Amino acid sequence: MKSKELESSAKEKKKEILNDLRGFGSNLYNQMEKGKFPWVEMPSRSTENIFYSPEVRQYILGDKSVKRSARNIRHIKPFTQMVWAGFFASELVKNRKTSTLRDVYYSAQAYEMSFKDQPDLETATGFAREDFNVFPEERSAIFGDLTIEYTVPGYEGKQLNLTSHPDGVMIGPSLVSSEFAKTGCDKVIAIEKGGLFTRFIEERVHKKFNALLVLTAGQAPRATRHFIHRLNRELELPVFIFTDGDPWGMHIAMVIISGSANAAHLRGLTTPDAKWGGVYATDIVDYKLPSDPLTPVDVKRLHELTKDPRYKGELWKREIKTFLKIKKKAEQEAFSRYGLTYIVDKYLPAKLEEMGD
């Protein structure tokens, strides 16, 4: 455990963020004091400047940068929104409050501003909006033997073991900003669907496999991806991901592993060593799972994925090929055909072994 070192990291980051925002504001302020239109320079997020980096194993921004100036009539509105977002974030961080995107939207109206979730401030400062305490509505949860220590106001120093609630604990702002105190687990299992997450808890998968269970609830929110990243980085836990057996499920796993092009300006959201455990197309064949035929949209999506640089690995190539061959897909719940506990008793151990746990 590196808890001592980690303890300060959240607070350090807060200080760093505030410093950064002040610098950001001072820069604009000084420009205006000199009678100049304020401007900032930031990496370009245009598609020709987004590259997949095999070294970092995620999408990154290239060297091209853009200048955003308040002198430009087309820039001034997003520019103002960016400055306002910075102002709002600094208020949140200073007062140690959190907010949702909807809150930001309505707060903006108080200043006669319209707000769009635009990543300019993230790009300009290099911080994710979650760092500024702005979160989307949360749906994802975690369950397992991990003790965390809150840093949010009123709970500082208070510890919680994440097995304490049988429905799991929501991955919200206070959890994301907390420090890791200790854990008895040796792996993380991420699950796409809420039904299966509940089944795993009921079947005591966390005990049987000594695992932390994370519910992504579909496409994992950025805060959840960051949290999985921290579990992998700070606690050195291997991560296994279980999704539906279709192109969309594959991609849920892939975004946790390698990130998305939309977040190419951010780091700390990916877990390159995480592994996708299924449902594979080959599982549909091997386990004779009840399945549905692929829709034309599914097929189109599979063809897109073949061109995606993140899908260069052997496993991915094999599964895409198999999907296209059998033209079938299956949900995680399909294992219930063999009894409710089949997936935990038979499938999961086999998979974990296959992935080299």
Question: What residues make contact with other proteins under the rule CB under 8 A?
Answer: 21-22, 24-26, 28-29, 32-33, 35-38, 70, 73, 76-77, 79-80, 83-84, 86-87, 90, 111-113
Q: How buried is 268 (Cβ within 10 angstroms: 0-12 exposed, 13-18 middle, 19+ buried)?
A: middle
CB of 175 to other proteins, least distance (A): 28
Residue 130 near residue 89, CB atoms below 8 Å: no
Residue closer to other proteins by CB (options 35, 296) is: 35
Q: Which is nearer to other proteins, 106 or 155 (CB)?
A: 106
Q: What is the DSSP string of 106-146?
A: HHHHHTT------THHHHHH---TTTTTEEPPP--EEESSE
Known catalytic residue: 342?
no
84 versus 338: smaller Cβ distance to other proteins: 84
CA 329 to chain centre: 25
Number of H helices and number of E strands within the chain? Answer: 14, 17
- Please, what is the minimum distance in Å from the beta carbon of residue 201 to other proteins? 44
**Quick one: 133 or 258, whose CB is closer to other proteins?**
133
Q: Which two tokens stand for residue 313?
A: 């690995």
The pair of structure tokens assigned to 351 is 């998979």
Check 52, 59, 105, 106 and give the catalytic one: 106
Q: Least distance (Å) from other proteins to the CB of residue 237?
A: 38
CA distance 223 to 287: 34
Q: List, by residue number, the catalytic residues.
A: 106
